[in-house]
Every structure is written in structure tokens, then in C-alpha cells.
Amino acid sequence: MASPPSDFMDILKSRRSPLSPAAAVSPWRVHCWLQRLLGLLFPHLEDLVTPPEKLPHHLQALEAELQQLLEQLQLSGTQASQFFAEDLQQIDACLQADAAAMHAGDPAADSVDDVILSYPGFFAVASYRVAHALLLRSIPILPRLLTEYAHRLTGIDIHPGAEIGARFCLDHGTGVVIGESTVIGDDVKIYQGVTLGALSVTKAMAHTKRHPTLEDRVVIYANATILGGDTRIGHDSVIGGNVWLTESVPPYTQVYHQAQIKWRQQAPGHLV
């Protein structure tokens, strides 16, 4: 077996000496931690349901695992304790409300359990809620690893920096993109293929409000694109499918893409 050139081996070695703290974190460990954490909140998602008497031990193990990940990032393990003491119950309450909203808003959902077990939109939102809480504690890299894991599994891309209100409903969800500085109010419903994006993707726009704001009770139908940090969708508005929007609309607005219908004289066999 031929060996790679020595100069290429030197390049590979240089990337490992030393690794940056972020590069030293195992994505697989982070993904497993998320799965176990969601299993703690929702026994539906556990391979083997944890007996009630073992829940305290399970919780301690998850906290210890997060502490180890933070230590790899050269951060204090106390942030892990704060997350479990102060954030986890609030995350759980948000997710219970999200699951109930998805069930209430989808005639095809038989139960809340159905949503938790099988809906990709719920898994993406659950991953986001955990990631956002970690981001608010100024923990680097882990939030993106969590939301990109959900992105990989579901096709739903929610940046952990987005601000999303209560009872958020993602129906179908595939292809949804929610950018970093997006602000979403309460009781918002978004269908598949929606983009909440920026008008410009230049680096100069980093750390600015470049994604839209959706007020309470907005509905965005499939494949709509809403762009720009100054774009604000007023409460109780409906944005129809395939709409392209780069300006604000007031509350109670309905915006639709006007399809063009043309009658043809040819029989179906002659359609071009």
C-alpha cells in the first residue's frame, strides 16, 4: 500500500497540534447528549424508558456530560448546573406548548404523542429550544452543533440565535430556513419551504438585525420567502404560498401570489 507524501502528512499533523477548543469537541457526543436530554423530557423518545426512581441519576449524568463538554471548551462547568437548574424546566414548558399547538393545528395529527414521536418539525423546534438556551449562556459551538444536527435529520434549518415565541407550529417543515436575527412572536404557524432570510449575506452584516420579524398569530404558507431586517409582518397576517416579500405589512394583512391560468386548445397528448 502506497503511503501519502510526507508533506501531506505534515499538513495533517499540523491540524492536530494543537486543536482549538471548539475543534476538540466531538459532534457525536453532543448529538447523543441531545437525544438523551430529549428522552428525559419525553419518554416517547427513549430506547428504553428510564424508571421513575432512576430519573435523578439520569439527570445528574446529563449534567456531568454537559460539564465535560464545557470543560473541553475551557469554560466553567457551573454553566451546566445553571442550565439544568434554571433553564430546563422552562424549555420543557415551551416544548409541551409547541407540541400541543402542532397537534391543534394539524387535522392529520391523532394526538400530542403522535407529534412528539414522529413530527420532524417538533424535533427541530426541540433542538432549537435547547440550543437557544445554551446560546443565551454564551456557550460557543454547542448550539450550532445541536441545530445543525436537527437540520441534517429533518431538513429544517433554525439558527440558535433566532428568537421564537410560545406555541410555535412548524407544519411539515422540510426546507424551512429561519435566520439568526429572526424574531417570531407567539402562536405563529409556518409551512414547508419558508425562508426567513437576509437581503444581503456580506460579512459586514454580521451581528446586525438582518432577518425579518413576525408578530403574533402570523401564518406563512409553503415556499414563501421573507427577507430583510427591517421587514415586519404585522400580527394576525397571512402570507400565502410562493410569495416573495421584502417590505413590511401591517396587522391583519393577507398577501398572496397571483397565479396565472391560461386555457389551451390542444388535447392533453399535444401538451408541450
pLDDT digits (tens, 9 = 90+) for 161-220: 999 999 999 999 999 999 999 999 999 999 999 999 999 888 877 888 999 999 999 999
Q: Give residue-wise pLDDT tens across range 69-82.
A: 999 999 888 899 99
- Report the CATH number that the domain containing residue 228 is assigned in CATH: 2.160.10.10
User: Is the separation of the CB atoms in 220 and 206 below 8 Å?
Assistant: no
* Residue 49 domain flag: yes
Q: Is the pLDDT of residue 1 over 80?
A: no
Judgement on whether residues 30 and 143 belong to the same structural domain of the protein: yes
* Residue 236 domain flag: yes
Judgement on whether residues 111 and 56 belong to the same structural domain of the protein: yes
* Residue 265 domain flag: no
Pairwise CA distance, residues 35 & 39, whole Å: 6
Judgement on whether residues 107 and 188 belong to the same structural domain of the protein: no
Pairwise CA distance, residues 206 & 182, whole Å: 13
Instruction: Write the CB contacts of 241 (distance below 8 Å, at least 6 apart in sequence).
Output: 191, 221, 222, 223, 224, 257
* Residue 160 domain flag: no
What's the number of domains the chain is made of?
2
Judgement on whether residues 30 and 148 belong to the same structural domain of the protein: yes
For residue 85, the enclosing domain spans 21-155
Pairwise CA distance, residues 196 & 230, whole Å: 12
* Residue 70 domain flag: yes
Judgement on whether residues 185 and 219 belong to the same structural domain of the protein: yes
Judgement on whether residues 149 and 247 belong to the same structural domain of the protein: no
Judgement on whether residues 218 and 185 belong to the same structural domain of the protein: yes
Judgement on whether residues 59 and 185 belong to the same structural domain of the protein: no
User: 23: pLDDT confidence band, cut at 50, 70 and 90?
Assistant: confident
Judgement on whether residues 117 and 227 belong to the same structural domain of the protein: no
Judgement on whether residues 137 and 58 belong to the same structural domain of the protein: yes
The enclosing H or E element of 209 equals: none
- Report the CATH number that the domain containing residue 73 is assigned in CATH: 1.10.3130.10
Mean pLDDT over 256-261 rounds to: 86
What pLDDT does 192 receive?
98
Judgement on whether residues 104 and 145 belong to the same structural domain of the protein: yes
* Residue 7 domain flag: no
C-alpha torsion 121→125→131→134, nearest 10:
-170
Examine the fold and report which residue of 155, 187, 206 is the final residue of a domain before the chain moves on: 155
What pLDDT does 181 receive?
97
* Residue 2 domain flag: no
* Residue 81 domain flag: yes
Q: Give residue-wise pLDDT tens across range 31-62.
A: 999 999 999 999 989 888 899 999 999 999 99
Judgement on whether residues 58 and 184 belong to the same structural domain of the protein: no
